[in-house]
Amino acid sequence: MTLKIGLVSVSDRAASGVYQDRGLPALADWLQSALTSPFSIETRLIPDEQPQIEATLIELIDQLGCHLVLTTGGTGPAPRDVTPDATLAVAEREMPGFGEQMRQISLRFVPTAILSRQVGAIRKQALILNLPGQPKAIRETLEGLRDADGQSVVPGIFAAVPYCLELIGGPRVETDPAVIKAFRPKSAQ
């Protein structure tokens, strides 16, 4: 089974052409560097409209069979930031550890990380993760933080993604340990 990944950038201005979206290319580049298993990508650039975000998540999972959906943007406290609301509206189960860890990583850089409403959730056999909007923050969130010697200081969220995907019925995913080492308990190796 080949991993199918949906990438969704949620931005009113990028969707209307005011500026070029940087989230989708950052996500695609990171996945190319991190994954050693075969995968395919479906991308969507949409405005901050909850019904459209919900419909996009449902399309990617229910119709296109994505195992993993990564969103970028729309996770703050502003009235137009509705990505977490849309995610939870279509989810069957929340995975709170993902949001908690994303905020822990971001707090190393900015005190306003506590304003983030990023969530992780499951719909059917797919994991949905709401990532930050900036390319640097996307990479840090997925990979985690390392010290000058390359030792992990704060683990990135993607270390848990491959095992989570297996647990919910998705394909086995392998990563390049130089980028992110997938964690699996000994019983799953």
Phi, psi for residue 152 in degrees, rounded to 5: -65, 130
Q: What's the pLDDT score for residue 187?
A: 83
Phi, psi for residue 89 in degrees, rounded to 5: -65, -30
- pLDDT tens figures, 136-164: 999 999 999 888 888 888 889 999 999 99
- N-term to C-term CA, the chain: 18
- pLDDT tens figures, 102-111: 999 999 989 9
Q: What's the pLDDT score for residue 165?
A: 98
Q: How many residues does the chain have?
A: 189
Domains of the chain in start order, with CATH, are: 3-188 (3.40.980.10)
Q: Which helix (H) or strand (E) holds 142?
A: helix 135-143
Q: How confident is the model at residue 38 (pLDDT cuts 50, 70, 90)?
A: very high
DSSP 3-state assignment of 71? strand
Count, in order, helices (H) and strands (E) of the chain. Answer: 7, 8
Name residue 115's amino acid: L
- H-state helical runs in 70-115: 83-90, 96-107
